Structure 1
Amino acid sequence: MLRNVNTIKGYAIQATDDELGRVREVYFDDEQWGVRYLVVATGPWLMGRSVLISPYAIQGIDEDGERIRVSLTSEQVKNSPDIDTDKPVSRQLESEFSTYYGYDNYWTGPYLWGAGGYPVLPLPESASVPPPDAQQESAARPAGNEEDVHLRSSAAVSGYHIAGTDGDVGHVEDFIFDDEAWVVRYLLVDTRNWWPGGKHVLLSTDWVERVDWTDSRVQTGLTQEQIKNSPEYAGDQAVDRDYEKRLHEHYRRPGYWDV
């Protein structure tokens, strides 16, 4: 199912024994657009500390109750590696986090989630282990190495300008992700700051050529006219396959579901 990131902000995180806190934002990576973590504000029980919850731990999303169930205990989360979510999170810190919870490192395999396309924990006997050289290389990297930082905050990237081949076309307002593969499929773009009386449209992350983190800009190979004439997206509508097909047909691009 496709969901807007903003719709799960504020959702409670329900552990096996207690409520952990509420979703503040998500971290996605700038290489494959995978949603790698929920950033959870824990509130007073953990002295206001923010913690990361991996999709590996997520068991389900309860829309009616605005709650996300996870396969963790409050004690596990309390004793998890202390990661300052207000600073860049390096691969070394991610590796420590993964080791603590027994997760695979998603960047050590060929697929979106390392050895697979979905965040499913492998059976112990089939768990993929990074080659020794890769483990040593990761451990040797300093935590502050800028080249080692690939996570981006949904809150920080909201507002980035969208640049077409012939000029700006709007700004990022939200992110639409697949809650099975946990990957960002689309950017929700508000065109009204470029085009008076404009509309909201979706831009597939497959059509993003690059993200300029210095200038806060997302570059696409589409033209202003193409985006202006694309199917409108109403914020309260579900992104179903019929809409996705119309969107991809408009741009004459193949659907990710056919690849």
Structure 2
Amino acid sequence: MAGTDMARFVGFKVDASDGHIGKIDRHSEYVGRQFIVVDTGPWIFGRHVVVPASLVARVDEENETVHLSASRDQVKHSPEFESGRYEDDVALLQVIERYYDGHT
């Protein structure tokens, strides 16, 4: 989904390759990288996860759903997100990217 304005999908539902995981809470761009922050709600105790926009497999605008190429388990075990930290923490963004690169 390179080049896509992911900000317009804030509020959309998010489905992993094997089921629903939450909704897009916000979008961020940093030095040519795009990420979405997914609010997982009660699925994993209200945790927020950062997902590289490159994992967006497709967007169903009619049903307001973003589909990821990652599984629920991959998202569940992704690196811990600390609100306000990732936007300017290049090292953390690289950890998140490496995590998903090794699991997709």
TM-score after normalising by structure 1: 0.35
Indicate the residue corresponding to 2:15 in structure 1: 14
Residues 53-64 of structure 1: pairs in structure 2 closer than 5 A: 53-64=51-62
Q: Does the 8 Å CA contact 2:51/2:96 hold for their aligned counterparts? A: no
Indicate the residue corresponding to 2:92 in structure 1: 93
Structure 2 gap ranges (5+)? none
Residues 11-90 of structure 1: pairs in structure 2 closer than 5 A: 11-29=12-30, 31=31, 34=32, 36-84=34-82, 86-89=83-86, 90=89
**TM-fit CA distance, 1:4:** 7.4
The one of the two structures with greater contact order (alpha-carbon pairs below 8 A, sep at least 6) is 2
Aligned length: 99
Residue identity in the other structure for 2:52: S
Percent sequence identity over matched residues?
A: 26
Q: Which has the larger radius of gyration?
A: 1
Q: Deviations over 1:8-56 (max 9, x none)?
A: 1210111111111101111112x4xx35101111000110010011122
Structure 1 gap ranges (5+)? 104-120, 122-259
Q: Deviations over 1:41-76 (max 9, x none)?
A: 100011001001112211111110100111011000
Q: Deviations over 1:188-233 (max 9, x none)?
A: xxxxxxxxxxxxxxxxxxxxxxxxxxxxxxxxxxxxxxxxxxxxxx
RMSD: 2.1
Residues 43-192 of structure 1: pairs in structure 2 closer than 5 A: 43-84=41-82, 86-89=83-86, 90-102=89-101
What is the DSSP-based 3-state SS (H/G/I as helix, E as strand, rest coil) of the residue aligned with 1:65? coil
